[in-house]
Amino acid sequence: MLTHAVESYLSVRRAAGYKLKSEGDLLRSFAKYSEAAGILRVSSEKAIEWAALAHSTETRARRLGQVIRFARYIRVEDQQHELPPPVFGRERRTRPTPYIFSPEDIRRLIKTASRLGRFNNFRGFTYSTVFALLACTGLRISEALNLRFTDISQDGLLIRCSKFRKSRLIPLHASTRTALERYLERRVPFAPFDDHLFVSLRKRPLRVDDAEKVFHNLMKELELPLRPQRPFPTIHSLRHTFAVRALETCPDTRDSITKHILALSTYLGHSSVAGTYWYLEATPDLLKRISDSSERFFEGGKL
């Protein structure tokens, strides 16, 4: 009974666009744990006992939080389900400090990627194009690798049913469009029977884990400067960098910033602007502009 209720809950939330992979695994584990003890409804005691199996307080809070959200849902139909108290404290999602690339970092990355492939430089051409596209559009790597020929239009790139099952159109700069056309001149004859935009030397669609592995190896080769608050860059760092650099180009007025953030949120495919704020990171340029705006305000100007 509890397992069935969990599956119903997951189906409803996934229909709303949430993937809930790890969350689903946790709730199934909780249901199995409860049913093994002969308990067929949410029990506060059993939920706390199950959550306490985790090693850290943070993980316990996260596990119990999943059960609490599930219990709120299922109690609408059956009040016999108990609502566990958050005895391990609030769930804390630690925001990792993103690595923000400099323009020179990105140029070095693309140049180094273009040299991949000892016997066939198509591999280097492909990866340099992928990384350049991520850098200048802020696409998720999964979105870039899912692109098909038919997704390239005169108006830009059509991103189909991405995160939260949302589709969006990404306008392209003329230089980006030219680079894609140059790539397609070699790509189409190489694997004419596959309509994915980016393919491997095996003439199959590039996989996310392969792209992440190549990116990781390139980062080690480039030996970019690292500091305690500047972690090792990941492929997702290109998306963070795009968001920050886009904000740096925004006019300083309050109304302009509001409109700019909303446009950026839509461009990145976020469900709300809160998701966009998660991507932003203070840079020397942004901090200087904030300081300059504050000085103007205290001198009688307007924000």
Tell me, yes or no, whether 132 and 54 share the same domain: no
Residue 128 structural domain? 103-222
Instruction: Assess if residue 79 is contained within a domain.
Output: no
Tell me, yes or no, whether 160 and 111 share the same domain: yes
Instruction: Assess if residue 81 is contained within a domain.
Output: no
pLDDT given at position 265: 84
- Give the mean model confidence (pLDDT) for residues 13-20: 80
The full length of the chain comes to 303
- Annotated catalytic residues are 140, 163, 236, 239, 270, 279
Tell me, yes or no, whether 210 and 242 share the same domain: no
Tell me, yes or no, whether 109 and 192 share the same domain: yes
Position 261 confidence tier, pLDDT thresholds 50, 70, 90 = confident
Instruction: Assess if residue 37 is contained within a domain.
Output: yes
Spatial CA neighbour of 98 closest among 232, 272, 275, 289: 232
Instruction: Assess if residue 55 is contained within a domain.
Output: yes
Tell me, yes or no, whether 212 and 265 share the same domain: no
* Position 95 pLDDT exceeds 80: no
Tell me, yes or no, whether 112 and 210 share the same domain: yes
Task: Look at the chain and report how many structural domains it folds into.
Answer: 3
- Give the mean model confidence (pLDDT) for residues 169-177: 92
CATH of the domain at 210: 1.10.443.10
Tell me, yes or no, whether 61 and 25 share the same domain: yes
Task: Return d(Cα 197, Cα 205) in angstroms, integer.
Answer: 8
Order of all β-strands in the sheet with 152-153: 152-153, 156-159, 168-170
Tell me, yes or no, whether 203 and 108 share the same domain: yes
Tell me, yes or no, whether 120 and 199 share the same domain: yes
pLDDT given at position 287: 60
Spatial contact of 235 and 141, defined as CB atoms under 8 Å apart: yes
Instruction: Assess if residue 82 is contained within a domain.
Output: no
Tell me, yes or no, whether 182 and 107 share the same domain: yes
Tell me, yes or no, whether 63 and 128 share the same domain: no
Q: What is the largest CA-CA distance in the chain?
A: 70
Domain-terminating residue out of 179, 199, 222:
222
Instruction: Assess if residue 98 is contained within a domain.
Output: no
Domain-terminating residue out of 32, 53, 74:
74
Task: Find the range with the poorest average confidence among 7-11, 26-30, 73-77, 96-100.
Answer: 96-100
Q: What is the pLDDT of residues 183-193, one digit of tens each?
A: 999 999 999 98
Look up the pTM and report it. 0.70
Instruction: Assess if residue 91 is contained within a domain.
Output: no
Tell me, yes or no, whether 152 and 253 share the same domain: no
**What is the gyration radius of the CA atoms in the chain, in angstroms?**
24
Instruction: Assess if residue 133 is contained within a domain.
Output: yes
Spatial CA neighbour of 88 closest among 111, 113, 120, 66: 66
Domain-terminating residue out of 194, 222, 250:
222
